[in-house]
A and B are shown apart, each in its own frame.
Chain A
Amino acid sequence: QKEVEQNSGPLSVPEGAIASLNCTYSDRGSQSFFWYRQYSGKSPELIMFIYSNGDKEDGRFTAQLNKASQYVSLLIRDSQPSDSATYLCAVYLMDTGRRALTFGSGTRLQVQP
């Protein structure tokens, strides 16, 4: 089992719809969870981070965390074509001993105009 897993997609949604991106992780003791957006040919940029169970909202973005299920998700409301990118889930895994983020392979989102 991969340490951080994401569906590679592509996930295709129409403009204005809600896009739902999911991520599972292996280490039950993990505490910090991040969503990065990466446009083609560019470096990752942070969109959201979440540390506590529940929802965290920032504009059109909502991160959801369920530590019992080892599951974190990102919802994008009112999706725009400019949201088309690869979304990377990153987790600070405690059981690896590495003091660094571990990334999933990313989900490619396509927003159709």
Chain B
Amino acid sequence: NAGVTQTPKFQVLKTGQSMTLQCAQDMNHNSMYWYRQDPGMGLRLIYYSASEGTTDKGEVPNGYNVSRLNKREFSLRLESAAPSQTSVYFCASRDRGGSYEQYFGPGTRLTVT
């Protein structure tokens, strides 16, 4: 049981390049989330998917797109990377019932030059 996995762990992009961050969970959770974390800013929600087939915007969605490929996988795409998107990106998941606890992946450290 790996929990929440993310790839890649590190990435350097040039301004204008595109990339997709991958996230998968093996806990059979319904809800999945993408956050970014910047120094002094805490975790800010980019997009989330409450269940397979649905996605919703969070606090900071501009410049990102997401795909809930199936129940296990939730990807985050940067179509045209900007230096302001330099950050650490965390994926998380949660089961629908019971606690609202979210389980986090190890993170992707992205630098845009």
A57 proximal to B (CB < 8 A)? no
Interface residue total, chain A, C-beta cutoff 8 A: 23
Neighbouring A residues of B102 by C-beta, 8 Å? 90, 100-101
Neighbouring A residues of B79 by C-beta, 8 Å? none
A78 proximal to B (CB < 8 A)? no
A25 proximal to B (CB < 8 A)? no
A84 to B40, CA, bound (A): 17
Contact A43–B40 (Cβ < 8 Å):
no
Contact A43–B42 (Cβ < 8 Å):
no
Contact B101–A43 (Cβ < 8 Å):
no
Contact A101–B40 (Cβ < 8 Å):
no
A68 to B43, CA, bound (A): 26
Neighbouring A residues of B74 by C-beta, 8 Å? none
Contact A103–B104 (Cβ < 8 Å):
no
What 1/0 mask marks residues of chain A from 66 to 97 whose CB sits below 8 Å from any chain B CB? 00000000000000000000001010100000
What 1/0 mask marks residues of chain A from 96 to 113 whose CB sits below 8 Å from any chain B CB? 001111111110000000
Interface residues of A (CB under 8 A from B): 4, 6, 8, 32, 34, 42-46, 49, 88, 90, 92, 98-106
Interface residues of B (CB under 8 A from A): 31, 33, 35, 40-45, 48, 50, 56, 58-59, 90, 99-107
Q: List 21 A-B contacts (CB under 8 A).
A: A6-B42, A34-B101, A43-B90, A46-B103, A49-B100, A88-B42, A88-B43, A92-B100, A98-B56, A98-B59, A99-B31, A100-B31, A100-B33, A100-B58, A100-B102, A101-B100, A102-B45, A103-B42, A105-B41, A105-B42, A106-B42
